[in-house]
Amino acid sequence: MKLLNYTLSYLSIALLAVVGVWAVIFYFNMLDEIYDSIDDGLENSKILIIRKVESDTTLIHKTEFLESNYAIHEIIDNHALHTRDIYMDSTLYMQNEKDYEPVRMLKTVFRASNGKYYELQIVSSMVEEDDLIEDLFYAIVWLYIVLLASVLIINNVLLRKIWKPFYTILDKLKNFRLGSNESFSTAKTNVSEFNILNETVSSLLQRNIAIFNSQKQFIENASHELQTPLAISINKLELLTEKNSLSDDQLQEISTVIESLERLTRLNKTLLLLSRIENRQFPQEMSVNFNDLALRLASAFGDLSEFKSVKIFIDQPATCIYTLNAELAEILLSNLIKNAILHNYPDGSVTVTINTTGISVTNTSHTGALDPSHIFDRFYKNSSAKNSTGLGLAIVKSIADYYGYIIHYSYTHQQHTFSIQFN
Amino acid sequence: MSALFIFFFWNEIKTIPISFRFSSLLLNTTNSERIYTAHPMKILVIEDEDELRNVIVSSLEKENFLVESAANYTAALDKVTSYQYDCILLDIMLPGGSGLSVLDALKKMKKQENVIIISAKNSVDDKVNGLNLGADDYLAKPFHLSELTARVKSVIRRKSMDGQNIVELNNVKINVDDRLLYINHEPVPLNRKEFDILTYFIANKNRLINKAALAEHIWGDHIDQADDFEFIYSQIKNLRKKLKDTGAQLEIQAVYGVGYKLIAN
């Protein structure tokens, strides 16, 4: 639920209670006021009628209400002495409504000029309480609806405006990627809480970016610093192998050490390459023809595939040209092809298929399906190939990520297929 | 049929090698004996790491070069201003200043020295900067000594052979630019890789060449992971056969498990 609607849902319950309580209080207050003013009117009528009766004694025999609003009955004296003015609710048959309707009645007693006591009943038509409640109810419902509607509108217009910095930072956070080289900036607002939020998030991210960058820098520096001792070791051993005094066994021992050092060198170079890809240090882009590239790589790997007795087929139903860094394009495709040759069996095959929007590399293999959730992980090795760095596919993946290409792995008919979709 | 299936045989391939190095600088040539026996070539090694400098110096001295060295920026600048060298190996990161400044100084003095940058930073920017400032080649650390030897000889030869790109060793003559091999003045056809292997071997004659160094030089960086470099053997075998059949006074020896050695006596 969105923040705006969330407040509205609580507000609607609160408003219902407030409006309901208010309606009850309002109803009784109003009723009280109505009684008060009707009773005042009846009091006034009483005075007027009594005066009128004094001047016109015939009125004393008016025992029915009929067209007027009063009736007079004679009562016995001692009863009259104990009677006080009584205001009461009653009903009266109304001709227009053809029904008994509520009326307010004042019963009072007076002594006429003839010395007899009379009871005077004065009525005044009353509000119909059920109608009043009904009217009030509808009024309240409408009020409630209008209130909610206005809250909704105010929320959407005003709050949206007020909360704009919040949504801005939310949007920025959603699109923020660590290592994307974009700095995180926020706009100044008039709301201090949002400013605090912006500052907090910014400083938090700046710290993270700084840590991330220093870690990247560390990898790069470490790789560079490793180059010199590696160079010294390899070159010294190379010089050593040229000494004629060494026996064949000793030569071979030294050679295996050199091999290990070379493996270390490759690993180092590969890590450096990964870090350079992630640091986006390949800005130059050009139009790369993948058909030409595939043919070139197939020939470059000719000796290796010949040695492994693996045939390379280039299937090119279409031309595939995309703009990217030429070096990365070459690394991308060569890693896939090299893997396809190395993880194969004698008399197996590698098929490179080139379409307008993508490339796929398929190879025969005895290994069975690989775990698609891990094959692109760094240092994930499925085979025990001793010269594999376990970084080849990680590089392919990071190049694909760099350009937003989609890479897909599948295993069908004892064949591994890696396909890259360029858009 | 729209689908075109191509099957590649290595010996039919005449394409350009794939390499992240500057391909124009990949001409693998060597000096003929004649040049540096008459006037020993002077080489300056500018490198701050003592051990690395020593090993480079030892390796180059084996090739009968006259080698001097400098360990820091001031010493380097001092030497390049005072003396003339045939080739300068220049490390970029030096105590006291950048190797690129040395290059700049050389340029300002209008000196025509051959400069090969040797840097731990295998970055495109460094390469481009260095080459723009007039360096002739760029070699990333760590490198193989045989590669360094081949590069040094290549840059020296390019400037000192009066455009004559010929390497001679015994009865073998190589025209590097036209990629031709003559044995006893008779042309011998070689494929591209055989030619590259032979020139690399001649540049490092009588020295043990690590098979990884050879693979990297001929097949480029792509091949680095390929298992054990056993695949290079078939090319060597063919080359050996051609040399033997044509009576070349060279012999490629295999040193089991390590690499190869070209014997020229």
Domain harbouring B184, CATH code: 1.10.10.10
Residue in A239, A266, A307 closest to B225 by CB = A266
Asked if residue B110 and residue B227 are part of one domain, the reply reads no
Q: Is residue B108 part of a domain?
A: yes
- Structure confidence at residue B25 (pLDDT): 37
Q: Do A235 and B49 touch (CB under 8 A)?
A: no
Number of domains in chain B: 2
Query: Chain-wide mean pLDDT for chain A?
Result: 85
Q: Which residues in chain B are contacts of A266 at CB distance < 8 A?
A: 224-225
**What class has domain A3-150?**
alpha beta
Full-model pTM = 0.67
Asked if residue B231 and residue B115 are part of one domain, the reply reads no
Asked if residue B150 and residue B205 are part of one domain, the reply reads no
* Domain boundary residue, one of B160, B176, B198: B160
Q: What does the pLDDT average to over A274-296?
A: 85
Query: What residues have CB less than 8 Å from A375, skipping those under 6 apart?
Result: A382, A393, A409
- Structure confidence at residue A383 (pLDDT): 61
Q: What does the pLDDT average to over A103-121?
A: 84
- Structure confidence at residue B57 (pLDDT): 94
Q: Which residue has the tokens 């002495």?
A: A81
Q: Is residue B3 part of a domain?
A: no
Residues in chain B, how many? 265
Residue in B212, B225, B231 closest to A338 by CB = B225
Confidence check: pLDDT of A22 > 70 = yes
Q: Is residue B5 part of a domain?
A: no
B97 touches chain A (CB under 8 A): no
Q: Is residue B145 part of a domain?
A: yes
- Rounded to the nearest angstrom, the minimum Cα separation between B17 and chain A is 7
Q: How far apart are CA A137 and CA A127, in angstroms?
A: 15
Q: Do B226 and A338 touch (CB under 8 A)?
A: yes
Q: Which CATH number fits domain A286-421: 3.40.50.2300, 3.40.50.10700, 3.30.420.270, 3.30.565.10?
A: 3.30.565.10
Q: How far apart are CA B9 and CA B13, in angstroms?
A: 7
Asked if residue B156 and residue B60 are part of one domain, the reply reads yes
Find which of A112-116, A396-400, B127-131 is predicted with most confidence, using mean pLDDT: A396-400
Looking at chain A, which residues constitute the CATH 3.30.565.10 domain(s)?
Answer: 286-421
Q: Is residue B51 part of a domain?
A: yes
Q: How far apart are CA B219 and CA B223, in angstroms?
A: 6
Asked if residue B217 and residue B240 are part of one domain, the reply reads yes
The continuous run of DSSP H or E covering B132 comes out as helix B124-132
Q: What are the DSSP calls for B197-260, one per residue?
A: HHHHHHHTTTSEEEHHHHHHHHH-GGGGGSGGGTTHHHHHHHHHHHHHHTT-S-EEEEETTTEE
Among chain B residues, CA nearest to A342: B226
Q: For chains A and B, what is the number of CB pairs under 8 angstroms?
A: 162
β-pair type (B172-175, B166-169): antiparallel
Asked if residue B219 and residue B244 are part of one domain, the reply reads yes
- Rounded to the nearest angstrom, the minimum Cα separation between A345 and chain B is 14
Looking at chain A, which residues constitute the CATH 3.30.450 domain(s)?
Answer: 3-150
Asked if residue B172 and residue B68 are part of one domain, the reply reads no
Asked if residue B181 and residue B87 are part of one domain, the reply reads no
* Domain boundary residue, one of B160, B191, B220: B160
Looking at chain A, which residues constitute the CATH 1.10.287 domain(s)?
Answer: 194-278
* Domain boundary residue, one of B160, B193, B228: B160
H and E: helices and strands count for chain A: 11, 11
Residue A180: band (very low, low, confident or very high) from pLDDT cuts 50, 70, 90: low
pLDDT in tens, A83-100: 788 888 888 887 887 888
Residue A235: band (very low, low, confident or very high) from pLDDT cuts 50, 70, 90: very high
Q: What are the DSSP calls for A3-20, one per residue?
A: HHHHHHHHHHHHHHHHHH
Q: How far apart are CA B130 and CA B127, in angstroms?
A: 5
Asked if residue B199 and residue B153 are part of one domain, the reply reads no
- Structure confidence at residue A299 (pLDDT): 85
Asked if residue B173 and residue B142 are part of one domain, the reply reads no
**What class has domain A194-278?**
mainly alpha
Asked if residue B252 and residue B148 are part of one domain, the reply reads no
Exposed, middle or buried: residue A204 (CB in 10 Å: 0-12, 13-18, 19+)? exposed
Q: ipTM score of the complex? A: 0.79
Q: Is residue B112 part of a domain?
A: yes
Half-sphere exposure of A402 (CA within 13 A, CB side): 24
Residue A305: band (very low, low, confident or very high) from pLDDT cuts 50, 70, 90: confident
- Structure confidence at residue B33 (pLDDT): 42
Q: Do A295 and B6 touch (CB under 8 A)?
A: yes
Residue A386: band (very low, low, confident or very high) from pLDDT cuts 50, 70, 90: low
Residue A25: band (very low, low, confident or very high) from pLDDT cuts 50, 70, 90: very high
Of A402, A156, A384, A192, residue with least CA distance to A279: A402
One pLDDT digit (tens) per residue for chain B, 265 residues: 444 443 333 333 333 333 333 333 333 344 344 444 456 889 999 999 999 999 999 999 998 899 999 999 999 999 999 988 989 999 988 888 888 889 888 888 888 888 999 987 766 667 788 888 888 899 988 899 999 999 998 888 877 656 567 888 888 888 888 888 888 888 888 888 889 899 999 888 888 888 888 888 888 766 665 566 777 888 888 888 888 888 888 888 888 878 898 888 7
B210 touches chain A (CB under 8 A): yes
A-facing residues of B in 178-197 (CB < 8 A) are: 193
- Structure confidence at residue A353 (pLDDT): 92
B2 touches chain A (CB under 8 A): yes
Q: Which residues in chain A are contacts of B232 at CB distance < 8 A?
A: 303
CATH number at residue B108: 3.40.50.2300
Range of the domain at B200: 166-263
